[in-house]
Amino acid sequence: MRCISKMKKCIILALVCVLLTGCGNVSYTFAYDPDCSVSSFRIVNSQSHDTSEPFASDLCVIQSDILNDEIDMTDISSAALFDVNNSKVLYAKNVYEKLYPASLTKVMTALVALKNGKMEDTLTASQNVVINEPGATLCGVKPGDTMTLSQALHALLIYSGNDVAVMIAEHIGGSVEGFTDMMNKEAKALGATNSNFVNPHGLSDDNHYVTAYDMYLIFNEAIKYDMFTEIIHMASYDTTYYDSSGNPKELSIGTSNRYLNGNCPMPENVTVIGGKTGTTNAARSCLILLAKDTFGNSYISIIMRAETRDILYEGMSDLLGLIY
C-alpha cells in the first residue's frame, strides 16, 4: 500500500507540474534529453515537501564550468576532477563538449563485457581482427587465435589492443554492430546521453564521440567491478594464448600510463590506482584516472584532447594537485 500511495503522489505531482499555468509559465523536462547538460532531476512540492529523488543522487552533477586560476588548461579542450566519495566536482572545463574519445572507448567496452560475459569464456578471433589503420595499437592476434575473456580484457585495458577489442565485441555482441548497440544502451542507462559509440576500440569516426562528463559516468560504473580496478592498476602483463592449431603464443605487454610505468611522478599525497589512456590524431591525447588520497577517498580525473602527451600529464598532475 505504501508503494502504491507513493506512486500516486508522483503521478499527481507530475500532472500538477504540467497543468499549473500560474507560476510564470515555467516548463519542466523529465525525460532524457541528449542535449541537456544535466541528466538527473529533482522536484520538490512546496506544500507537502514531497521529493522525487534523482536517478543520479549519488553522482556529481555539473551546471557550469568550475575553474581554478592556478591551473593552466589552455591547450586542453576538456577536463574535470570528481570527488567520488562526497559527490563533489573540484574542477570542470567544457565537460559537455562532444569529443573523440580514442581508446577511452575501451572503458565502455570493458564495462559491457564485464556485465555480460564470464572471465573463463573462450574468444576466437575472426578476420575482422585484421586492422590496417596506421598507428593502431595491435596485440598481433590472427584469425583463428583463441584466448579467454580475462586475457582479452587485460590486453584491452593495459595495452589498448584494438584487435582484441574486436574479439571481445564479436564474442559478447555477436558482431561489432550488435556490441555497439549494447554500448549505447548501457550509456543511456547510465545517463551518458551525450555520447555515441560505433566501434569498440575508439578509432576515429565522425559518429563516435563522448563528453568528459559521460566518461565520468561510464568510468564510475566500471570501477565497481573488482576485475576492472585490478587490471587498470597493472603496469605489465604476461600470458599465453593459442593459435588456430592449438600452438601456444606468448603475449608480453606494458601500460602507456606514465604514472604506472614510472615515467611521471605522482603528485604528493595522491596514489594513482590506474585508468585508461587514449591517443589518435583526431582525439589528440586523452586520459581518465582513478586516484586515492591519503585517507583512501576516491577521485576520478579526466582530460580530453590535450595537444601533446606532455601537456596531458602536466595538466593531469595539476588536477590531482587539487586533492588535499
Q: Could you say which of 77, 160, 195, 317 is catalytic?
A: 160
Output DSSP code: residue 80: E
CA distance 289 to 275: 4
Question: Residue 298 is placed in which grid cell?
Answer: 576516491
Does the active-site annotation cover 317? no
Single out the catalytic residue among 39, 77, 93, 106. 106
Q: Identify any residues that bridge with 242 across adjacent strands, giving them in sequence order.
A: 146, 248
Q: How far is 15 from 218, CA to CA, in rounded Å?
A: 33
Cell numbers for 167: 574479439
Residue 5 appears among annotated catalytic residues: no
The residue behind cell 562532444 is 98
Catalytic residue among 39, 77, 78, 103: 103
Put the strands of the sheet holding 248-254 in their side by side order. Answer: 122-124, 146-148, 236-242, 248-254
- Report the C-alpha gap between 158 and 149 in whole angstroms: 14
Report the amino acid identity of residue 238: D
Positive or negative, the CA dihedral 166, 169, 172, 173 is: negative
103: annotated active-site residue: yes
Burial class (CB in 10 A: 0-12, 13-18, 19+), 113: buried
**Cα(220)–Cα(134) distance, integer angstroms:** 31
Beginning with the edge strand found earlier in the chain, give each strand of the sheet holding 284-293 in spatial order: 88-93, 76-83, 298-306, 284-293, 270-280
**Residues carrying an active site annotation:** 103, 106, 160
